[in-house]
Each structure stands twice: as C-alpha cells, then as structure tokens.
Structure 1
C-alpha cells in the first residue's frame, strides 16, 4: 500500500474484508496512528464482518496515515 505509484493520485485496493482490515492495521501501526479513536469495528476485533462493498478511505499527508473514513456499501 505504501508503494503505490503516486501519492498525489487516488488508488483503490480491493480484497476480502479480513485482508483489508489487516492492511489498515499494518499501515496504522507503521505510522503510529491510533485506530481506537474511530467509531468502526475492524473484522479482526470481533464477529462483525465487513460487508461486500464496504471499506475505508485512507487519508495520507507526506506518505503518512492521518485519517480514516469508513465507507458503507450501496
């Protein structure tokens, strides 16, 4: 995820919910970003499953994670 070609462009990463959650946790840990402040439950933390089409928008500044917005499927 960090090696996406151009930080000024939008990139979409699609995968199973558990894989996306693991990626989010890894990126947050690497950037010392606290995910506990957000009002979403990661599939890694309990029985809740990320529904198809759900995910997160990761906002970066200078290559570091600064904010996460949950998106719901339509």
Structure 2
C-alpha cells in the first residue's frame, strides 16, 4: 500500500494518484487534506514520463524545399523525398 502511494520521479505522481486522483490511506500518518481528490494533469504526466523516456524533443518547422528522409515498413533503407 505504501509503495502505491509513493511518488515516482518519472511521472511526479504516485500510482494511486494516477488511478484514483488522490493519495490512498496507509498506515503512515497522513493529513486529511492529502486524501482529497486532485487529479494530476494528464498532459504534464505524459510529458514528464513518455517524453523523457523516449528522448522526445521539439523539431524545427519544415519549409518548402527541405529534404525529408522517409522509410516505410516494407523498405530496409531510408529514401530522400
């Protein structure tokens, strides 16, 4: 139970917060205000977890005439388009 209520550094929330929107009651002393529902911002959680794990970074905008490399599932090499 305590593990489910422990904040994970990757998401900034505990698994219980992600599932129920609040901390859960454990054997550790907790203030009643911590048990109120406060849903974490899903976009912020996704950005913290997925973007950091996958190394996502913003790309510069494309302009007409820029070279783009494309690879489909059936091809083994990249092609310039």
TM-score by length of 1: 0.24
Give the greater-gyration-radius structure (CA): 2
If each structure's helix is expressed as a fraction of its own residues, which one has the higher value?
2
If each structure's strand is expressed as a fraction of its own residues, which one has the higher value?
1
Larger relative CO (CA 8 A, sep 6+): 1 or 2? 1
